Amino acid sequence: MALRQALVRAVVARSQNRAYSSRISSTLYSNRLYEPDYLDSMKPKYPLYETLNFTIKGYDFPVLESYQKLIYNVADSMDLDIVDAYAHPPQKLTVQKFKPSSSVIDSEYKLTVYERTVQIDNVLAPLYPVLLRTLQAGLPEGVTLNVTEHTSEQEESRYVPDRDLKELKQQLDEMGGPTKSKK
């Protein structure tokens, strides 16, 4: 009986010792004893949005250009990093209005949709709602604002395809493709 009590005391003492040592190790690792202090000072205080694309679309060219200037000025006054600002190729649309219950064209409209993008980099999370609300307050009528994260597809869409180059490639393919010469 005495042996059994001694074993129970030893097991209890050992489990308490493990709990005490695990508390010590957790406090050591939670205080980050082995990491330098300057790593914390390099981290931003708030989370950052990476590169954001502020894309605006509209039918009126001068209004769109003026609003792009406003976006640039607001972002610059908030000390945000403006990476790039560029225009996309315009989209030309034709709208036909038909007479009631017929296929006769009543009127035809030719519209041009202009698009501009302003890229802003490393926006702090607390500044983003302020920036967005300011831009929405100044949004002109007929202009749409779309904010997205930057992707490679958006980068490719900004370039105008070279029609002459495409025609030459098509002619080359029709003639049998490029010849491969061996040296």
Q: Give per-residue pLDDT as tens, 139-171.
A: 999 999 999 998 877 777 777 677 777 887 888
Domain boundaries, the chain: 55-89+116-158
Amino acid at 115: E
User: Residues of the chain with pLDDT > 90: what percent?
Assistant: 46
Q: Give per-residue pLDDT as tens, 14-64.
A: 656 554 554 445 544 555 667 777 777 777 788 888 899 999 999 999 999
Residue carrying the six token digits 């070279």: 162
Query: Does pLDDT of 173 surpass 70?
Result: yes
The pTM assigned to this predicted structure is 0.64
Amino acid at 88: H
DSSP state at residue 101:
T
**Residues forming beta bridges with residue 87, ordered by sequence position:** 116
Asked if 146 and 140 count as a contact pair (C-beta separation under 8 A), the reply is no
Beta-carbon contacts of 48 under 8 Å, excluding residues fewer than 6 positions away, are 122, 123, 124, 125
Between 172 and 178, whose confidence is greater?
Answer: 172
Rounded to the nearest 5°, which phi and psi values hold at 151? -130, 165
Q: Give buried/exposed letters for 150-168 (b at 16+ CB in 10 A, else e).
A: beeebeeeeeeeeeeeeee
| Nearest partner of 116 among 74, 161, 72, 54, judged by Cα | 54
| The Cα angle at residue 153 between residues 78 and 73, in degrees rounded to 5 | 20
**How much is the pLDDT for 27?**
47
**How much is the pLDDT for 117?**
94
Q: Is 51 exposed, middle or buried (0-12, 13-18, 19+ CB in 10 A)?
A: middle
